[in-house]
Amino acid sequence: MKALSRHATAIRPSPTLSLNARLNERVRAGERVLNLCVGEPDFAMPEGGRTAALRALAAGVDRYTDVAGLPELRARIQRKLHEENGLDVGPDQIVVSAGAKHALYNAFFVLCEEGDEVIVPAPYWVTYPEQVRAVGATPVIVPTHADTGYKLTAARLEEAVTARTKAVVLNSPGNPTGATYTERELAELAAVVERYDLYVVEDLIYEHFFYEEGTAPSMTAFPALRERTVLVNGVSKSCAMTGWRVGYTVASPAISALVRRIQSQSTSNVAAVAQHAALGALDDVPWRRLAGYRERRDIAHARLTAIDGIACPLPTGAFYLFPEISRLLGGDHGGRPLATADDFCDRLLETTGVGLVPGTAFGAPGHVRITYATDPAVVAEGLERLGAFAREIRRTAVG
Ligand code: PMP
């Protein structure tokens, strides 16, 4: 038979989703699993979202909506952008898609073609490089390190730019490191973006999980970049509505028209009832519920960094810790070698029931990702077991 599509076969499955499936299997088999892999907050979705959805169902919202989303939802997003991001856009600049993931896919589809390069700073969220590949372009991974707070600097960006570079991906607050860029750092990056005529795909899905003063800085602060930025956001994280699949892109009218066009020929509108739910949720000011996350971060970070051999900067956003564990690698646990973060996570799960994501999934070997958005008691016990596990490792590694 003829070969299947190169684009499709080049894509790797989502390691976080498959790991979650593996953990759920263990739970079904009756094992006690402490799942610190999940990428969703543990609070309930806003009541306003649920009532809006029920009301919409009762009213029979059974038909197609506008491809780009209900006019009232886009108007609500418009208001949110004005109030929170200082961004004034027309309704034709917003396209509602099936989650931020779909919004990102549309963005890459519209911006890139074969031969284009997209700069993706690592550690990165697992999906960016795969989506770039899926549209036939090439992800150019630029590693960042703890010494720059896992952030891309203007100098590193400039070094990575070639004649083929089309766009750069920014995710602040970021998954998996929880790093957030300052306005000054963004201004420096913005200057490079302008100088080399690039686009920015800015993923703001964690914007409300921000633990510094004020609001999370974003490229939206720079009017000169508005034409070249595709902003991606949604209700999955801030409203704890991961299952509803409502995200959106905000871009120039020209880019948005193409996003709408590709969506009109692929998925059409997001489920009408989900759009009503998002509208109700946005009106319920859900981010007040995020207040406890800073404290959770502090507690989890203190517990984690008390473990000998583990180093982790204090994240300023999102709800993950992304420690370096290289000092715990190279030795063995119970006679079995621990060479990589993957070995570490496999063995940890097998012997303690604690599930973490190995950093390899995010382009950062020697690290693991820990979520603190789940039940604080589970996080506390998980970190305690992690500490005991670390103490059992017979280290042959240096340091
Ligand atoms: N961007 C980042 C950085 C994420 O971590 C996630 C979810 N893990 C998404 C986008 C996807 O969000 P959604 O559920 O809205 O597709």
Q: Is the pLDDT of residue 397 over 60?
A: no
Q: Is the pLDDT of residue 180 over 60?
A: yes
Cβ neighbours of residue 55 closer than 8 Å, sequence gap 6 or more = 276, 280
Model confidence band, residue 8 (pLDDT cutoffs 50, 70, 90): confident
396 Cα–ligand 1 center, Å? 38
CATH class of the domain comprising 6-44+289-392: alpha beta
Helix (H, G, I), strand (E, B) or coil at 358: strand
Give the strand pairing for 320-321 and 368-371: antiparallel
| Ligand 1 binding pocket, CB closer than 6 Å | 39, 99-101, 125, 171, 175, 203, 205, 234, 236, 242, 247
**Could you name the CATH architecture of 47-285?**
3-Layer(aba) Sandwich (3.40)
User: What's the complex ipTM?
Assistant: 0.99
Cα separations (Å) of 376 from 30, 72, 130, 371? Answer: 22, 37, 32, 10
Nearest atom, ligand 1, residue 246 CA: 15
103 Cα–ligand 1 center, Å? 10
123 Cα–ligand 1 center, Å? 15
Contact indicator for 397, 331 with CB cutoff of 8 Å: yes
Residue nearest atom 12 of ligand 1, based on CA coordinates: 100
Residues of the chain with CATH 3.90.1150.10: 6-44+289-392
101 Cα–ligand 1 center, Å? 6
Model confidence band, residue 396 (pLDDT cutoffs 50, 70, 90): low
282-337: pLDDT as tens digits = 999 777 778 789 999 999 999 999 999 999 999 999 999 999 999 999 989 999 99
What is the average per-residue pLDDT within 68-83? Answer: 97
Q: What is the DSSP string of 94-145?
A: EEEESHHHHHHHHHHHHH--TT-EEEEEES--THHHHHHHHTT-EEEEEE--
Cβ neighbours of residue 178 closer than 8 Å, sequence gap 6 or more = 297, 315, 316, 317, 318, 319, 320, 321, 322
Contact indicator for 38, 20 with CB cutoff of 8 Å: yes
Best residue for ligand 1 mutational test, from 236, 245, 320 (most atoms within 8 Å of Cβ): 236
CA atoms of 310 and 326, how far apart (whole Å): 8
Helix (H, G, I), strand (E, B) or coil at 23: helix
The structure's pTM equals 0.96
CA atoms of 326 and 316, how far apart (whole Å): 23
Q: What is the DSSP string of 247-287?
A: EEEE--HHHHHHHHHHHHTTT-S--HHHHHHHHHHHTT-GG
Cβ neighbours of residue 246 closer than 8 Å, sequence gap 6 or more = 96, 98, 99, 234, 235, 236, 270, 274, 275, 277, 278
- CA dihedral for 144, 145, 148, 150, sign (positive or negative): positive
Residues of the chain with CATH 3.40.640.10: 47-285
Give the strand pairing for 199-203 and 229-234: parallel
Nearest atom, ligand 1, residue 175 CA: 3
189-224: pLDDT as tens digits = 999 999 999 999 999 999 999 999 999 999 999 999
- Scanning the structure block, which residue is given the tokens 């010494």? 147
CA atoms of 187 and 24, how far apart (whole Å): 43
